Amino acid sequence: MIVYGRTTTFRGLVCEAHARERLQHDLTSTLLLGWWGAISIFVNGLYIVPTQIASLVRLPRLFASTAAPAADGTTRPSQS
Ligand SMILES: [Zn+2]
């Protein structure tokens, strides 16, 4: 039997679409592969997965606060 664990951190400037894509990829990987160790089942189930879901929920608010006002006074997400 092979036991393998990997922790990654992403830092960078991305648009909302790419941030969502990255978070969804990380959440899917954790849900599929993060349950195979005695420690991982607790760390991933009680901390990592809830944190990733909370990040996905908060994402629109994060980008709304950085939206630049348009000429007509409305706001649109900034392009990056
Ligand atoms: Zn992008």
Tell me, yes or no, whether 4 lies in a domain.
no
Q: Residue 20 phi/psi, 5° resolution?
A: -65, -45
Q: Which domain holds residue 40?
A: 35-62
The predicted pLDDT at position 80 comes to 53
Count up the domains in the chain and report the number.
1
* Ligand 1 center–CA 74 separation, angstroms: 22
The predicted pLDDT at position 73 comes to 62
* Ligand 1 center–CA 21 separation, angstroms: 9
* Ligand 1 center–CA 62 separation, angstroms: 15
pLDDT of 31-79, one tens digit each?
Answer: 998 888 888 889 999 999 999 999 999 999 988 876 666 666 665 555 5
Residue 6's pLDDT band (cuts 50, 70, 90): confident
More confident residue, 7 or 14: 14
Tell me, yes or no, whether 19 lies in a domain.
no
Tell me, yes or no, whether 75 lies in a domain.
no
Tell me, yes or no, whether 48 lies in a domain.
yes
The predicted pLDDT at position 14 comes to 93
Question: Is residue 16's pLDDT more than 80?
Answer: yes
Tell me, yes or no, whether 49 lies in a domain.
yes
Q: What residue spans of 1-80 are helical by DSSP H? A: 16-33, 38-43, 49-64
Tokens 């991305």 belong to 14
